[in-house]
Amino acid sequence: MTISLGPLALAADRLLGVALIWLFLAGGSLIAARGDMRAATASWIAVIVGLLVARTAYVVRHADAYAPEPWSILAVWQGGFLPWAGVAAAGMAVAVWLRRSRATPLLLGVLAGLAAVHAVAAPALEPAPRPLARGLMLTDMEGGAIALDTLRGKPMVINLWATWCPPCQRELPMLAEVAATSRVPILLVNQGQDSATVAAYLAERKVAGTHVFLDHSGRTGDAAGGLVLPTTLFVDAKGRIVRRHTGEISRAALADGMALIARR
């Protein structure tokens, strides 16, 4: 699920995370104002430790995905955190920093309450599976037509992109590389640009066009429920969009999505 603010689209789960972190810091400041002044500092330390551990745990779990491009570990804007690991680490940080303080159970209570909110709200923000519209037609880089309906019956990944989109530019080489060896079809569907423009871009960036397709009308984006670039759709064998990733996608998130549709 995404929330659009004019031309800006933000993933709802990330907004939820930011809001809960802000509430935790506010809770720490309130506890500090009414008692132990260290509570405010403890809340900040807990947030920093929690984020570091949550990110590290995610990277360790997806070590194979990060091995080809270790620098991408720093690309935190792509997402990739394990909330339970971060909450546990934040709780330990609070307990250590505020040991033998009356503020300890209060701040831990705030942390536990907000963690419970996240556990309930995060799944609720995931959109229900929706069918991919029928009758969608694409054109390959050789000018041949392809009907997406011919791919029904097996899972596939559809990435919507454009040459002028900076996040698209960053993720496209990785997507093309994975598509070259993936058993799950990955379709890199350009939105609204002509073949000459796309071909020139691919040649300049040395990206293979084997899995690149053109959608001149933009109907694929409309079928996805609105066009925000880049968007990656994970479609299961029943033709349902079971996951939608808005914004630049990491190799790890791509692997997660592909594993999801392969199981269905």
Q: Provide the CATH number for the domain around residue 193.
A: 3.40.30.10
> Which residue has better confidence, 225 or 4?
225
Statement to judge: residues 164 and 110 lie in one domain: no
Q: 60-106 pLDDT, tens per residue? A: 999 999 998 899 999 988 889 999 999 999 999 999 999 889 999 99
Q: Does residue 118 share a domain with residue 94?
A: yes
What domain count does the chain have? 2
Residues 168 and 138 reside in one and the same domain: yes
For 3-32, give one letter per residue: b (16+ CB within 10 A) or e: eeeeeebebbbbebbeebbeebbebbebbb
Residue where a domain terminates, one of 77, 109, 125: 125
Summarize the confidence of residues 41-67 as an average pLDDT. 96
| pLDDT value of residue 9 | 54
Same domain, 136 and 227: yes
Q: What is the pTM of this model?
A: 0.85
Q: Are residue 40 and residue 157 in the same domain, yes or no?
A: no
> Phi and psi (nearest 5°) for 22?
-60, -40
The amino acid at residue 117 is V
Q: Residue 99's domain spans which residues?
A: 2-125
